[in-house]
Amino acid sequence: MSLIPSFFSRNGRDAKPPPLGADGPLTLMAIMAHPDDIDFGSAGSIAKWCAEGWTVYYVLATSGDKGTHDDLSRQELAAMREEEQRAAARVLGVKEVVFLGYPDGFVSVTAELRGEIVRLLRKYKPDVVLTFDGFRPSFNHNDHRNIGIATRDAIYPAVRDHLYFAEHAAEGLEAHRVNEMLLVGSTAPDYFVDVSDYIETKVDAMLCHASQISTHDRDVLLKRMRERGRRRGGRGLVESFKRERIVRAPQPAPADEPQPASASQPEPTPVGGERSRS
Ligand SMILES: [Zn+2]
Bigger pLDDT: 66 vs 261:
66
> What protein residues have CB closer than 5 angstroms to ion ligand 1?
33-34, 37
Q: Is 194 helix (H, G, I), strand (E, B) or coil?
A: strand
> pLDDT tens-digit profile of 119-160?
999 999 999 999 999 999 988 899 999 999 999 999 999 999
Q: Structural domain of residue 102, as residue ranges? A: 7-13+21-248
How many angstroms separate the CA atoms of 25 and 74, rounded? Answer: 38
Nearest residue to 89 (alpha-carbon basis) of 55, 123, 120: 55
Distance 63 CA to ligand 1 centre (A): 10
Q: Which of 102-106, 135-139, 205-209, 215-219 has the lowest mean pLDDT?
A: 135-139
Distance 144 CA to ligand 1 centre (A): 6
DSSP code of residue 59:
E
Distance 172 CA to ligand 1 centre (A): 33
CATH of the domain at 74: 3.40.50.10320
pTM for the predicted model, two decimal places = 0.84
Q: Which of 3-12, 175-184, 201-210, 269-278 has the lowest mean pLDDT?
A: 269-278
Query: Domain total for the chain?
Result: 1
The answer as to whether 84 is a domain residue is yes
The answer as to whether 258 is a domain residue is no
- To the nearest whole number, what is the mean pLDDT of the chain? 87
Distance 235 CA to ligand 1 centre (A): 28
Chain CA centroid to CA 116, Å? 16
Contact 143, 34 (CB under 8 A): yes
Contact 118, 125 (CB under 8 A): no
The answer as to whether 122 is a domain residue is yes
Q: Is 201 helix (H, G, I), strand (E, B) or coil?
A: helix
- What is the pLDDT, as a whole number, of residue 230? 85
